A and B are shown apart, each in its own frame.
Chain A
């Protein structure tokens, strides 16, 4: 077929548009990183969390999270033996500045629960996105292509854990990326990096040498809201039944 200049002028913009869609949904590449070799998750050891808020601050700084919105936050639970199903929970400013000190309570227990996107393997948010702007990467991280998101907030409604929000200035969905820009370069997430007690541990479930495997074999871990069957990959050690 002979390609005339006129045809080329028509074809080039069409090819550029097509290429844009080929690229859409492709996460940022990092050299020497093979996505299919990893399957990311996180381990949170509740007994180790001291509620210092370092993780929240680190996340907000690393990811430029707008004030009043949270990619991660920490909750303080008070669960008394009289109200097992109705704990009292607070999270002032997402626990960013820590928590007020609590007096020991003989009738109950205080504990901290860090929260973040669960990077579900069967994520409801991915399912409902009308244009596929939210997607799961081959290494198991739920991401959002913000150049493609409509800002309809259907994913925000579909997340059972309250992990998503609409970015107030970008007007698109936003949430934890598991610091994808860091983990694909061999680093850990900002929250794990800044946790002083090691309560948060990034886990690569495909790596047989990752300590997560030993931990999962020797501890009783749980995910949040298991009845939702979302394939959540944030595992909690020592999780109380009252946590939602």
Chain B
């Protein structure tokens, strides 16, 4: 068969996890990362990143709404997906997805956004007309008390929800890493470091995405970018990126030094079929280049315009690099035979259920969700809903 070198077990020639399964950890990673950025302000009192707090929450929500869709498109029988909720198999890591997802969606993110926006929602439900009024009315969930005391309670509960949200974000994405890292059948995946690497790379991608959205949206609104905020975000991104890269290199060095039975096969894979996506795209372009750029911004006093450009390039490259990392994990893990005697190829189709167009659509969809959320719940302090003046 074309695309096969050496010997593959005959059922291994096709790949069973497609680009959609690449998208899934990528998107959940963006959710977790964006939420961690939001928690920096809320829990760790990093005041500098405050302008991105609400935007980070909305970004997390937009991507979270999209997260299960690649899985549903991938399933042979999506109509049976609900079985995971009602009859989960307790020993399966994947069975926990439904619960972790629901917990994160409902108990953490939706609740936190609602608490944070409750005052705005109530005011908008009184100030808007027509269908918007109905939407905001529903969103108040019947709670229209925005007294000082009520808002104070919201603030305290919101803080607690964020506090619970941090381990939940780690759980959401760490568990995705565990799905891969716990498979002893596949030496490319089988690593206890996998969940940790997934979490740190998620943080980098989420932070990069929110930083880019913030800069882009501020520019589109013809407002001034708060450089104190962007500098702080870039600094956090730099340090977390270093941890992420160190963990990935630790995994790599460990594999090279240990050189167990799978090493020869995996080494060949990295130097051939994964050379571009791993060495060039993930490591050189997607990790080392943004790290160097961010390092320069940390040690050299640069003018504002230069910093903005370097942050933008670093953010875009980091997002590309982390997508490549997910690709190399998911697709790379299926390109070699579990006999370690051969290699197969992955050809992405254009208009199949798991093809390129669907993948692109599912990548764009969160941007549409985000646009809707931004319209409904503007995160900008200068556009917030205003309480009616006294005497109104």
Chain A nearest CB from B201 CB (Å) reads: 21
Q: Given the complex, which residues of B lie within 8 Å of A27, measured CB to CB?
A: none
Q: Is the CB of B340 within 8 A of A244?
A: yes
Q: Is the CB of B91 within 8 A of A131?
A: no
Q: Is the CB of A151 within 8 A of B76?
A: yes
- Taking CB atoms and an 8 Å cut-off, the chain B residues in 70-92 that contact chain A are 71, 74-78, 80-81, 83-84, 87-89, 91-92
Q: Is the CB of A160 within 8 A of B94?
A: no
Chain A nearest CB from B356 CB (Å) reads: 20
Q: Given the complex, which residues of B lie within 8 Å of A156, measured CB to CB?
A: 11, 16
* Alpha-carbon gap, A127 to B74, bound state (A): 21
Q: Is the CB of A129 within 8 A of B75?
A: no
Q: Is the CB of B9 within 8 A of A162?
A: yes
In the complex, the chain B residue whose C-beta lies closest to that of A95 is B10
* Alpha-carbon gap, A244 to B88, bound state (A): 33
In the complex, the chain A residue whose C-beta lies closest to that of B337 is A162
Name B84's contact: one of A93, A126, A130, A164 (CB within 8 Å). Answer: A130
Q: Is the CB of B97 within 8 A of A130?
A: yes
* A134-154 near B? 1/0 per residue, CB < 8 Å: 000000000000001111111
Q: Given the complex, which residues of A lie within 8 Å of B267, measured CB to CB?
A: none
Q: Is the CB of A131 within 8 A of B10?
A: no
Give the dominant DSSP class at B's interface: loop
Q: Is the CB of B184 within 8 A of A160?
A: yes
Query: How many chain B residues touch the partner (CB < 8 A)?
Result: 40
Name A127's contact: one of B9, B91, B338 (CB within 8 Å). Answer: B91
Q: Is the CB of A244 within 8 A of B341?
A: yes
| A171 lies within 8 A of chain B by Cβ | yes
Q: Is the CB of B339 within 8 A of A89?
A: yes
| A84 lies within 8 A of chain B by Cβ | no
Name A228's contact: one of B9, B76, B184 (CB within 8 Å). Answer: B184
23 contacts between A and B (CB under 8 A): A69-B10, A70-B10, A75-B7, A88-B7, A91-B7, A115-B9, A127-B92, A128-B92, A128-B93, A128-B94, A130-B84, A131-B88, A132-B89, A152-B76, A153-B16, A156-B16, A157-B183, A157-B334, A161-B9, A162-B10, A172-B77, A244-B338, A244-B339
Q: Which residues of B contact A (CB under 8 A)?
A: 7-12, 14, 16-17, 71, 74-78, 80-81, 83-84, 87-89, 91-95, 97, 179, 183-186, 333-334, 337-341
Q: When A and B form their complex, which 10 residue pairs have the shortest distance between CB atoms, in order from nearest?
A: A151-B76, A162-B9, A171-B76, A160-B185, A132-B89, A153-B16, A130-B95, A89-B7, A130-B94, A165-B11
